[in-house]
Structure 1
Amino acid sequence: MSQQTERISARAMIETVLDPGSFVSWDTPVDYGFADQEYRGQLERAAARSACDEAVITGQGSINGQDVAVVISEFDFLAGSIGKATAGRIIAAFQRATAARLPVLASPASGGTRMQEGTPAFVSMVHITAAVRAHTEASLPYLVYLRHPTTGGVMASWGSLGHITIAQPGALLGFLGPRVYETIYHEPFPPGVQVSENLQQHGIIDAVVPLEQLAQIVTRALRILAPGQVDSSAPSYPQVADRVLSQEEVWAAIEATRKPRRPSVRHVVKYAASDALQLSGTSEGENDPRMYLALARFAGQPAVIVGQDRSRADDARTAEPMGPAFLREARRGAQLAQHLGIALVTVIDTEGAALSQKAEEGGMAGQIARCIDALVGLNVPSVSLLLGQGTGGGALALLPADITIAAANSWLSPLPPEGASAIMYRDTEHAPMLAHAQLTDAFSLRREGIVQVIVPEEYDVSTAPRRFSQEVGQVLGGALQELAQRERGALRAVRNERYLAAAQRSLAPQE
């Protein structure tokens, strides 16, 4: 339980996470002359008790040799509360980290705003947030480790803005502190809600790890996010000759993508990425267990990767089709890529979006639209990978990209072929004919300009997931290398022009 969780001091954070002797303080002594006699006495006693002159320590150090800026709360100084001097110290640290192009590791442990300083201290959370935003807009990583306890204005500002958010096991985390809740409402707060493990389950934080493992997680994240190594040579894509598939071949391809053991996004990351760090949830209270969201590195290029994890489809907990939460999580991935200035990779392998009351009330149609809009409007490189099934709006939501790759048996259609048959003929027997007529196969998609590169499937890939995943990864890496050489400022315009040109081709009279 969070009430029994040990509080970790700022000094323990520094000694455990940073390389020995690497920490250099950025802090200047605080002058308590602004405070009245009573408040000044509280500050002086807090300083003596905590061995800190304020509720936060800032500075620079290294973690396994990687330089980072750190902003670390000290709860023993007036419950880690934020006054104007505290806020000024935090703001200065983010500004200095931005100027030096350093990632920031922040570790709040705070009861929120300092009541002794009232509204001006409360409003300083806005000023801190502005400094955090300037740092992230410079495409610099911001990592947060939430310590026990973190509540109030800190949780509602800089504690919840990390690209990656990790928490101490059993930590009390929430907006309203339980003591305040009980005083106001005259009843205890429901147990087990404001606990780090519960927040992870609900997709609010990415992971729960003990302090001793934090350095390893931060090291991996920063190595994945390091600037890419650009290979100036042209990518070597497989030369797959054009083919016009028969109706029987199209249907055989569709059946191949439905095999339970067909490789999934998880296989591609496992066997083709040099490193990956899985994230979790929308960070806004939702977590679709069939969404795979991660930071990964392919062919020396960092990327955010999102996709449906078909390998979990037989799990009873994940049996439902893609819902609105999946797409909100995908949009988080797109936003992460945009903020970090790295590529986005979307992996399409879905039997379709959920058709249910819950999905409708969750705004399914709007989420598809907003996901398409987010991908079309990206200012960073993007690759979409049609790995297997591509059914309906759920597939379309992940399709827009600078380069679209398709496995040879993959397909894309407005509905499952059986659904199209039911609409057109009130049966499912016409599904193979409609799949062929609707140009759903990868070769037709390439002729239509929807797909640019095809990965061949000259064997049953369900029997060789490692081999196929590595082949897919090689093509994916080539696409990321190609995009790394393009002018960033022109990506969105070129992407939109390509889609408009494809639309115009499809409308042109057939000769």
Structure 2
Amino acid sequence: MTGAAVRAGAREVIEAVVDAGSFESWNTPPTGTGADADYAAALARARERSGVDESVLAGCAQVAGRPVVLIVGEFGFLGGSIGTVAAERVVRAVERATRAGLPILASTASGGTRMQEGTPAFVRMLDIVAAIARHRAAGLPYLVHLRHPTAGGVMASWGALGQITLAEPGALLGFLGPRVTELLTGAPMPEGVQTAENLAARGHVDALVPIEGLRQAITPILDALLDREEPCSPTAPCPAIRPLDADAAEVWESVEATRGPDRLRLSDLYRSGIDLLTPLAGTGHGRPAVQVRLARVTGIPCVLIAQDRHAEHPLGPGDLRAAQRGMALAEEWKLPLITLVDTDGADLSPTAENGGLVFTIAQCMADLQNLTVPSVSVLLGQGAGGGALALLGGRHVVATQRSWLAPLPPEGASAIVHGDTAHAPELAKRQRIGAPDLLAAGIVDRLVPEPKGQTAHELADAVVMATVSALLEQTGLKATTTAAPQ
């Protein structure tokens, strides 16, 4: 199943990640294992064969000049299994990292709980989970890299609790290994299920990263999560926002414009000051209806939740659960949250209903309202129904001049009121769905003008700068702007 994966030892992982010569071991010699003669002999052989004293190595090192706590599994020691000594080593390392205010990188490789120790070792997973929960509650980063293989109690505890989860390509990852699963159930696990690639495709792993690329992958993540001793400000001056066009188009023209092929795309924004650092996948690969990312906006680290109207499938409950994850991480990390809203509506399929679509819409609205970190919601174009409202509850709402927000697409409202779709333009105006009306009603705090002749790139620049200004206002800072055009 995972023939492409090669087992790297714990020391190899440490050497690949840390600044040369910077690792300081926190390990103390194992004592009091209570092992019988056979188990004691097995431990002695494991120490001799692996060159380490237990299945976990822990310590502190510099990674690109930053202090980071490393907790690294060693599969060569009794299959990386976790007994009471190894569990205690993990707990103490996590607690020490929490006291010192340091981030953790956990790199797992384990078959799970050590069977020679049984239940006393098994229940120590609860202690590990509790320590990690306290670490995360303190606002400290907990990053995980899943190596080949990781299964059992390790996968189901400290392997699955990463705020960001990376995985070694080709790694076998699962609840129980395929051999044990087949023996217990009488049926083989289907090929390809317990793989890093499958978990990434289903949104449970954020990125596939080989060991040799791990240092490069985590460095920008640590930069974004830790470079916040002083309030951030943009790294470049913000261009002034142009005045609103007094001759704005009729609302139906705006509706049609937001549906056009030349309309502003996420890729335009990503070229205008939004730098994507790492995915917070949630919904898997491809083009999900919601992209969740750790990002920088003109240098300001943030969590970005962006609806993509060019997605491969309609906005569904899985997308909104990914958005909830992004909100929770922004709160844990004390980072600003930006939501980008542009949707023609949520999925209307039985699958979406069965998946709890309405519950995820409601929960997203509640979670966004309850955030304590700065937040900005940006209405980029289409804002149809609950799918749009789910992500529009930021403390400050920015809208492009041609954007709109409605309980249903105008054609849907027309079908309800008139029994046809022909009255959509009339209802769009009557329902006051256009951005200027939203501004007048106090639903939107700021409009980004869309003058005639404006390119998508120019609009993207203006949207990014309006978003930055809204963020800075919440932190008491002001953006430096260039002169306004005459």
For residue 297 of structure 1, what is the aligned residue in structure 2?
296
- 1:467-478 mapped onto 2 (5 Å cutoff): 467-478=458-469
What do residues 255-313 of structure 1 show as CA deviations (whole Å, max 9, x unaligned)?
Answer: 1111123222343234212453223125xx89872221111112442211112122x34
What residue identity is the alignment partner of 2:332?
H
Aligned mates of 1:36, 1:60 — CA distance in 2: 33
Give the helix-richer structure, 1 or 2: 1
1:68-123 CA-partner distances (Å, limit 9, x unpaired): 11100000111111111111111111111112211111000001111111111111
Please state how far the C-alpha of 1:466 moved relative to its aligned partner. 2.8
Match of 2:317 in 1: 324
Does residue 99 in structure 1 map to residue 99 in structure 2? Answer: yes
The equivalent of 2:263 in structure 1 is: 262
State the partner residue of 2:20: 20
What CA deviation, in whole Å up to 9, does each residue of 1:126-159 have, x standing for no partner? 1101111111111111111100000001110110
**Which AA in structure 2 matches 1:450?**
I
In 1, Cα distance between equivalents of 2:54 and 2:126: 20
Unaligned runs of 5+ in 1: 487-511
What is the match of residue 281 of structure 1? 282
In 1, the alpha carbon distance for the partners of 2:407 and 2:247 equals: 20
Alignment of 1:29-48 (within 5 A): 29-32=29-32, 34-48=34-48
1:445 to partner: Cα distance: 0.9
CA distance in 2, matches of 1:124, 1:238: 57
- Are the aligned partners of 2:81 and 2:111 in contact in 1 as well (CA < 8 Å)? yes
Question: How many residues were matched structurally?
Answer: 474
2:471 paired residue number:
480
The reply to whether residue 238 of structure 1 matches residue 241 of structure 2 is yes
1:55 aligns with 2:58: no
TM-score, normalization: structure 2?
0.92
Which deviations, in whole Å up to 9, do the C-alpha atoms of 1:165-197 show, x marking residues without a partner? 111110000001111112212332211110101
Alignment of 1:75-224 (within 5 A): 75-224=75-224
Cα gap change, 1:131 to 1:159, in 2 (>3 Å)? same
Task: Name the CA distance, whole Å, in 2 between partners of 1:190 and 1:387.
Answer: 43
Q: Distance in 1 between matches of 2:440 and 2:218?
A: 44
Q: Which amino acid aligns with 2:430?
A: A
Partner residue in 2 for 1:499 = none
Work out which of the residue numbers 342, 347, 359 in structure 1 matches 2:352: 359
DSSP 3-state at the match of 2:145: strand
Task: For 1:71, give the aligned amino acid.
Answer: I
User: Which residue of structure 1 lines up, in the alignment, with residue 484 of structure 2?
Assistant: none
Query: SS state of the match for residue 373, structure 2?
Result: coil
Distance 1:460 1:266 in 2: 20
User: Contact 1:230–1:485 at 8 Å: present in 2 too?
Assistant: no
CA distance in 1, matches of 2:399, 2:444: 7
CA positional deviation for 1:232: 8.3
The secondary structure found in structure 1 opposite 2:72 is strand
Unmatched segments (≥5 aa) in structure 2: 478-486
Pair 361,244 (structure 1): closer, same or farther in 2 beyond 3 Å? farther
Would you say the 8 A contact 2:233–2:300 is kept in 1?
no
Q: Percent identity?
A: 49
Seen in structure 2, the aligned counterparts of structure 1 residues 109 and 231 have a Cα distance that, compared at 3 Å, is: closer
Distance 1:230 1:299 in 2: 14
Conserved? CA contact 1:83–1:113, under 8 Å: yes
Distance 2:165 2:3 in 1: 21
CA contact (8 A) 1:281 1:288 kept: no
> Is 1:73 the equivalent of 2:68?
no
Structure 2 residue matching 1:85: 3-state secondary structure: helix
Distance 2:36 2:474 in 1: 60
Measured after TM superposition, the shift of residue 36 of structure 1 is 2.1
Provide the C-alpha distance between the structure 1 equivalents of 2:33 and 2:160, rounded to a whole number of angstroms: 32
Aligned-residue CA RMSD (Å): 2.2
Q: Which residue of 1 aligns with 2:376?
A: 383
Distance in 2 (CA, whole Å) between partners of 1:340 and 1:387 is 26
Whichever residue aligns with residue 199 of structure 1, its letter is L
CA distance 1:131–1:110, change in 2 (3 Å): same
- Matched with 2:480 is none
Does residue 408 of the first structure (1) align with residue 407 of the second (2)?
A: no
In structure 2, how many angstroms separate the alpha carbons of the residues matched to 1:397 and 1:210?
A: 36
Tell me how far 1:63 sits from its aligned partner. Answer: 1.9
Aligned mates of 1:288, 1:127 — CA distance in 2: 38
Task: Show CA shifts across 1:171-224 (max 9, x none).
Answer: 000001111112212332211110101111111101112111111110111122
